[in-house]
């Protein structure tokens, strides 16, 4: 697997507006995109920090995965996303190594990236996202 950098860190928050204020007013970052990803039932806000992004995730539904995450574990780091070259091959490679994957095939995530999740059961407790920007 060719992993180039940490693409983003996903952080589950209860209130997107409040969370954005923290990142802007305290950390001095600028939110450059807010996007709803319907099939994941989340509204996301993005900040660029060097070549890595912070992705804030607010659930749009009480039965969404992020709402359930917060219910169980509270707000906090939800997942880490690694940029890879050749996401299909990367996913296949992980599967061959015995890693349980949440997505069988890459799908479209926020910002038009192709994404796929690896199950935290197979990744030492960290929900791990692989992603590739095929527009580049």
Q: Which residues bind Zn ion (CB under 5 A)?
A: 10, 81, 129
Nearest distance from C-beta of residue 21 to Zn ion, angstroms: 21
Of 25 and 135, the one with the shorter C-beta distance to Zn ion is 135
Nearest distance from C-beta of residue 133 to Zn ion, angstroms: 13
Of 58 and 129, the one with the shorter C-beta distance to Zn ion is 129
80 Cβ contact list (under 8 Å, min separation 6): 6, 9, 10, 126, 127, 128, 129
Burial class (CB in 10 A: 0-12, 13-18, 19+), 115: buried
Residue closest to 49 by CA, chosen among 5, 96, 4: 5
Of 96 and 136, the one with the shorter C-beta distance to Zn ion is 136
Nearest distance from C-beta of residue 10 to Zn ion, angstroms: 4
């Amino acid at each position: 697997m060719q992993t180039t950098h940490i693409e983003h860190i996903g952080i589950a928050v209860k209130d997107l507006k409040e969370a954005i204020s923290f990142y802007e007013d305290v950390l001095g970052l600028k939110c450059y995109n807010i996007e709803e990803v319907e099939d994941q039932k989340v509204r996301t806000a993005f900040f660029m920090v060097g070549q890595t992004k912070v992705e804030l995730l607010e659930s749009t539904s009480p039965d969404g995965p992020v709402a359930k995450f917060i219910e169980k574990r509270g707000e906090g780091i939800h997942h880490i996303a690694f940029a890879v070259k050749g996401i299909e091959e990367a996913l296949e490679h992980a599967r061959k190594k015995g890693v349980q994957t949440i997505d069988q095939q890459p799908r479209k995530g926020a910002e038009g990236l192709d994404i796929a999740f690896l199950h935290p059961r197979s990744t030492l407790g960290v929900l791990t996202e692989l992603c590739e920007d095929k527009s580049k």
